[in-house]
């Protein structure tokens, strides 16, 4: 007896034994009038062989075997279901839906058939149909908590945030995942413009403002972050973040007056010294960018009074002094303190090198810039330009030109870089 025939008889024997077990539920319960007992059992054999081939990734063979099973028994819902799976796996979504609906017509209460239909709708980008399918399944299968989170995801994708919130609440009660869903609920409240409710879902509201601002892609998103930031300031006027990031947003909107009034408000309300230092530092940065150099330096002095070791203030103050050619030894000392704390920070290395350059200590500057280049997280036009400047002063004109060109490729905002390249020399 061949292996295939013996396998057939083994499966036929097993079918008799398990015909009343749970496995039999995978197949129709009533035979078609024209099917013999042998045809039904043979159909089951080919079906099972098809499943085995499919599990091995041999979809064509699996489909052929399952198709043969259907020829022997046209009322096998499981075979129609598997054919639907094969078609979906091979990219024929239309066929998948057709076969699946035939399986459902035979067994309308089969959970897995219903669930797979929703999956097919999603694959076909029929989001409304998928939502409707899951909503019906929730009524038919109320104990299935996984349906809640899948449907909640679909509501999220389609902007139905109130419905999403209700489902998240139900899911939390069923699965005891209250804390895990706080972030989801926060975003729902945020998009619904319910800022107070959003605030109460967040453990660290100051950090959340920063994360939101980093993630926005348009002016509408910026306005949402501004509203949330204002809400945080209402509840926590003592922390610096709502004033800090609101000022940044006002700067994006070119509202200079609002930038400074927001920072001044924060300086008057924030309780911790480091937070006040952060606000003074940002204020100094905005003053400098607006050409108000003296006011900028006063702000940096104030920032360092509140936190003498705040590295951003030290770095920016030192760099701006170097650009002005003022108090270079003081600037070098401040920059050195940043490197004591962060010796591999490329920005701080560049600042230190540039002050050395201004002090005409070119060889020392070169070594720090080479180190900055090694530790850059990403290419930086300013560092390449500075490197070119130092190379030129060290007598390496060709290498200087290479680095100036590199700075241009990185969209340098330098006002002199094009002239440096054209005239082939360093220019202030």
| pLDDT of amino acid 65 | 72
CB-neighbour burial class of residue 393 (10 A; exposed 0-12, middle 13-18, buried 19+): middle
Lowest mean pLDDT among 31-35, 258-262, 416-420: 31-35
Residues 285 and 283: their CA atoms lie apart, in Å, by 5
Buried b (16+ CB within 10 A) or exposed e, 108-128: eebeebbbbbbbbbbeeebee
User: What is the average per-residue pLDDT within 1-24?
Assistant: 37
Number of other CB atoms surrounding residue 294 within 10 Å: 9
pTM: predicted TM-score of the whole model, two decimal places: 0.75
User: Over the stretch 31-80, which tens digit does the pLDDT of each residue have?
Assistant: 444 546 656 666 676 667 766 766 677 767 766 776 666 666 666 777 77
| pLDDT of amino acid 15 | 38
Bigger pLDDT: 215 or 315?
315
The two three-digit tokens of residue 87, written as one number:
């078609």
**Domain limits of the chain?**
1-107, 136-201, 202-308
Long-range contacts, 288-294 (Cβ 8 Å, 24+): 288/316, 288/320, 290/256, 293/320, 293/324
Q: Residue 12: is its pLDDT beyond 50? A: no
Number of other CB atoms surrounding residue 373 within 10 Å: 18
The domains spanning 1-107 and 202-308 adopt the same CATH topology: yes
Long-range contacts, 262-268 (Cβ 8 Å, 24+): 266/240, 266/242, 267/243
Alpha-helical runs (H) found in 290-396: 293-306, 311-324, 328-341, 346-358, 362-374, 381-393
Q: State the DSSP code for 326.
A: -
| pLDDT of amino acid 62 | 67
User: Over the stretch 208-249, which tens digit does the pLDDT of each residue have?
Assistant: 999 999 988 677 889 999 999 999 999 999 999 999 999 999
Q: Is 278:246 a contact under the CB 8 Å cutoff?
A: no
| pLDDT of amino acid 43 | 66
Q: Residue 26: is its pLDDT beyond 70? A: no
Of residues 112, 86, 118, the one with CA closest to residue 99: 86
Of residues 374, 382, 376, the one with CA closest to residue 407: 382
Of residues 275, 278, 282, the one with CA closest to residue 249: 282
Query: What average pLDDT does the chain have?
Result: 86
The two three-digit tokens of residue 311, written as one number:
């590295």
Residues 71 and 35: their CA atoms lie apart, in Å, by 10
| pLDDT of amino acid 219 | 77
Q: Residue 6: is its pLDDT beyond 80? A: no
Residues 6+ positions from 283 with CB-CB distance below 8 Å: 247, 260, 263, 264, 267, 299
**What percent of the chain has pLDDT above 70?**
85
> Which value, to the nearest 10 degrees, does the dihedral of the CA atoms of residues 116, 117, 123, 128 take?
-130
Integer CA distances (angstroms), 208 to 221, 226, 253, in order:
14, 12, 21
Of residues 96, 45, 35, the one with CA closest to residue 66: 45
Residues 385 and 411: their CA atoms lie apart, in Å, by 11
* Band of pLDDT at residue 201, cut at 50, 70 and 90: very high
Q: What is the largest CA-CA distance in the chain?
A: 101
User: What is the average per-residue pLDDT within 132-140?
Assistant: 93
Yes or no: domain 1-107 corresponds to CATH 1.25.40.10 = yes
Bigger pLDDT: 402 or 108?
402
User: Over the stretch 267-282, which tens digit does the pLDDT of each residue have?
Assistant: 999 999 999 999 999 9
User: What is the average per-residue pLDDT within 302-314?
Assistant: 96
CB-neighbour burial class of residue 217 (10 A; exposed 0-12, middle 13-18, buried 19+): exposed
| pLDDT of amino acid 289 | 94
| pLDDT of amino acid 348 | 98
CATH superfamily of 202-308: Tetratricopeptide repeat domain (1.25.40.10)
| pLDDT of amino acid 360 | 96
3-class state of residue 323 by DSSP: helix
CATH fold for domain 136-201: 1.25.40
Buried b (16+ CB within 10 A) or exposed e, 312-323: bbbbbbbbbbbe
What is the total residue count of the chain?
428
Bigger pLDDT: 209 or 93?
209
Residues 251 and 389: their CA atoms lie apart, in Å, by 32
């Amino acid at each position: 007896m061949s292996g295939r025939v013996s396998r057939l008889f083994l499966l036929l024997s097993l079918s008799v034994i398990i015909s009343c077990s749970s496995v039999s539920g995978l197949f129709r319960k009533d035979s078609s009038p024209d099917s013999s007992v042998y045809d039904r059992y043979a159909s089951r054999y080919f079906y099972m062989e098809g499943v085995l081939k499919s599990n091995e990734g041999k979809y064509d063979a699996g489909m052929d075997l399952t198709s043969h099973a259907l020829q022997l028994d046209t009322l096998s819902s499981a075979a129609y279901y598997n054919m639907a799976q094969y078609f979906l796996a091979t990219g024929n979504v239309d066929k998948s839906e057709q076969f699946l609906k035939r399986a459902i017509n035979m067994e309308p209460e089969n959970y897995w058939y219903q669930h797979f239909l929703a999956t097919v709708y999603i694959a076909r980008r029929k989001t409304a149909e998928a939502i409707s399918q899951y909503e019906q399944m929730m009524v038919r299968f109320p104990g299935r908590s996984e349906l809640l989170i899948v449907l909640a995801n679909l509501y999220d994708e389609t902007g139905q945030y109130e419905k999403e919130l209700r489902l998240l609440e139900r899911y939390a009660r069923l699965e005891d995942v209250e804390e895990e869903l706080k972030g989801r609920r926060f975003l729902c409240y945020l998009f619904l413009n319910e800022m107070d409710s959003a605030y109460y879902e967040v453990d660290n509201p100051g950090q959340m403002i920063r994360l939101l601002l980093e993630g926005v892609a348009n002016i509408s998103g910026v306005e949402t972050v501004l509203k949330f930031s204002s809400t945080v300031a209402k509840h926590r006027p003592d922390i610096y973040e709502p004033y800090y990031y609101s000022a940044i947003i006002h700067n994006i909107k070119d509202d200079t007056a609002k930038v400074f009034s927001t920072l001044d408000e924060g300086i008057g309300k924030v309780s911790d010294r480091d937070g006040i230092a952060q606000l003074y530092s940002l204020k100094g940065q905005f003053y400098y960018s607006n050409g108000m150099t003296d006011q900028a330096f006063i702000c940096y002095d104030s920032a360092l009074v509140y936190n003498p070791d705040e590295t951003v203030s030290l770095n920016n103050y030192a760099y701006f002094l170097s650009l002005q050619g003022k108090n270079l030894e003081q600037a070098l000392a401040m920059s050195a303190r940043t490197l004591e704390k962060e010796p591999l920070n490329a920005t701080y290395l560049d600042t230190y090198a540039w002050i050395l350059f201004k002090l005409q200590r070119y060889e020392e500057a070169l070594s720090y810039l080479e180190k900055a280049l090694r530790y850059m997280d990403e290419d930086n036009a300013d560092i390449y330009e500075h490197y070119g400047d130092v190379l030129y002063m060290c007598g390496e004109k060709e290498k200087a030109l290479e680095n100036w060109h590199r700075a241009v490729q990185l969209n340098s905002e330098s006002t002199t870089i094009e002239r440096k390249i054209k005239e082939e020399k360093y220019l202030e």
